[in-house]
Copies of this chain bind each other. A is one copy, B any other.
Amino acid sequence: MSEFLFPDSLVDRSPGGETIALVVLDGLGGLPHPESGLTELEAARTPVMDAMAAKSSLGMLIPVLPGITPGSGPGHLGLFGYDPTRFIIGRGVLSALGVGFELRPGDVAARLNMASLDADGRITDRRAGRPPDAEGRRIIERVREGLQSPSGVQVFLEHEKEHRAVLVLRGEGLEEGVKDTDPQETGVPPLAAEATVPEAQRTADLLNEVLDQVRELLSGEETVNGFLARGVASYEAPPSFRERYGLKAAVVARYPMYRGVARLVGMDVPGEPSSDAEAMEMFGRALQDHDFVFFHYKATDARGEDGDFDAKVAAIEAADELVGRIAAAGPDVLLVTGDHATPAGYGAHSWHPVPLLIHSRWTRPTASAFGEGTCRTGDIGTVESRHLMTLALAHAGRLAKFGA
């Protein structure tokens, strides 16, 4: 949470000024197709982004550090200018953000796995056979109804997906520093929550009390009859976009996780678009009364995770049209990049650098196509994602000179 020397002290925080749009095509970076030698982005037909590249500065972003594969949290924090090696979001907090829960500073959040236990309390399945979402929601509803909040705290339970849920404790003096209760194996009982620092003892006790109640409430269930807690983390809000950059910022994203990460840095959340068309409309409106709008596009990552090269190419081609509409909305500075690579051939997030395009009046164009090949010889060089906001502010005329 640390010092943020740059660019904070140089930021012009006077109202008005040029606008910035950040388009994140999630998992944009790819690997060459074994036959064509082209990555997904290079293989895609992207007339809009290619024409834009010819008027842009290009570069590559290293999401965290060379070789480090980021999750969505660090990937986006880096793009937002928060050094992801210093500002760590706990997994519990990330899950709570992911379900759209509005965390408050001091809240402690944990991820929950629904599990199956035998008559002796030993785990037989750490994921309770991956119950369908409806079943998962029913279980959470049942626990919610019966659960008595321990004295002095509020307890929130939110279903996430299948066997996954989120627990949030709210109250005075809660602290992180509690070990997972998931033993990571079957045939043994869940662990008791254990404090790793003395200040977290009460938080561990409260967690144990809640998990014991859950065991009792679910004792009649056949499959899901216990919860395992992981990633216990307290929520501390970083300095906001407004504080750091003087920017009134908004997020337009169809998935709650990305709205959550944006809310973490103080972005407005004007709505929950359920289609790209709706998202486009929301983007246009958000740009009217914000200095900075972050637009998140998920399909590129999802198709990369599926390992489907052609489907990822199609997702990029669909995104190209959206980028055209975003540009038409008229932001002064337009950034197009990804939070990390999700090469279809790899089928997962990876550590590879990610193409970046910055379009403004102050660019040094070097190529007329947007792809890994053109970006790596671009003017920006290959730099860490945490520098992107500094570049964006510079292009928008919002940064003073450093030193005389």
Contact segment of A14-22, A122-130, A296-304, A395-403: A395-403
B404 and A94 contacting across the interface, CB-CB below 8 Å: yes
Chain B proximity mask over A302-319: 1 for CB below 8 Å, otherwise 0? 000000000000000000
B68 and A10 contacting across the interface, CB-CB below 8 Å: yes
B376 and A350 contacting across the interface, CB-CB below 8 Å: no
Chain B proximity mask over A367-395: 1 for CB below 8 Å, otherwise 0? 00000110011111111000101111111
With contact pairs A7-B67, A68-B6, A387-B67 given, residues A89 and B403 touching in the complex (Cβ less than 8 Å): yes
CA distance A399 to B65 in the complex (A): 13
Closest B residue to A351 by beta carbon equals B394
Q: How many residues of A contact B (CB 8 A)?
A: 67
Per DSSP, chain A at the interface is loop
Residues of chain B within 8 A (CB-CB) of A372 are 364, 379
B353 and A69 contacting across the interface, CB-CB below 8 Å: no
CA distance A37 to B368 in the complex (A): 13
CA distance A390 to B66 in the complex (A): 7
Is residue A244 contacting chain B, with contact meaning CB distance below 8 A?
Answer: no
Residues of chain B within 8 A (CB-CB) of A246 are none
Residues of chain B within 8 A (CB-CB) of A254 are none
Is residue A177 contacting chain B, with contact meaning CB distance below 8 A?
Answer: no
Closest B residue to A54 by beta carbon equals B37
Residues of chain B within 8 A (CB-CB) of A381 are 60, 62, 66, 353, 376, 381-383
CA distance A60 to B381 in the complex (A): 8
Residues of chain B within 8 A (CB-CB) of A380 are 66, 353, 382
Residues of chain B within 8 A (CB-CB) of A351 are 391, 394, 399
Chain B proximity mask over A235-262: 1 for CB below 8 Å, otherwise 0? 0000000000000000000000000000
Is residue A349 contacting chain B, with contact meaning CB distance below 8 A?
Answer: yes
A401 and B70 contacting across the interface, CB-CB below 8 Å: yes
A84 and B403 contacting across the interface, CB-CB below 8 Å: yes
Residues of chain B within 8 A (CB-CB) of A60 are 379, 381
- Residue with the greatest number of chain B CB neighbours at <10 A, chosen from A65, A372, A378, A399: A65
Is residue A362 contacting chain B, with contact meaning CB distance below 8 A?
Answer: yes
B71 and A401 contacting across the interface, CB-CB below 8 Å: yes
B74 and A403 contacting across the interface, CB-CB below 8 Å: yes
Report the minimum CB–CB distance from A50 to chain B (whole Å). 17
Closest B residue to A63 by beta carbon equals B402
Name the one of B32, B366, B400, B401 contacting A365, with C-beta atoms under 8 angstroms: B32
Residues of chain B within 8 A (CB-CB) of A72 are 403-404
CA distance A348 to B352 in the complex (A): 34
Residues of chain B within 8 A (CB-CB) of A91 are 404
Q: List 28 A-B contacts (CB under 8 A).
A: A7-B68, A31-B363, A37-B365, A39-B364, A60-B381, A64-B402, A65-B390, A66-B380, A66-B381, A66-B383, A66-B387, A67-B390, A67-B392, A67-B394, A67-B399, A68-B399, A69-B399, A69-B401, A73-B403, A75-B403, A94-B403, A346-B362, A351-B391, A352-B362, A353-B381, A372-B379, A376-B378, A380-B382
List residues of chain A with CB under 8 Å of any chain B CB.
5-7, 10, 31-32, 37, 39, 60, 62, 64-75, 84-85, 88-89, 91, 94-95, 231, 343, 346, 348-353, 362-366, 372-373, 376-383, 387, 389-395, 399-404
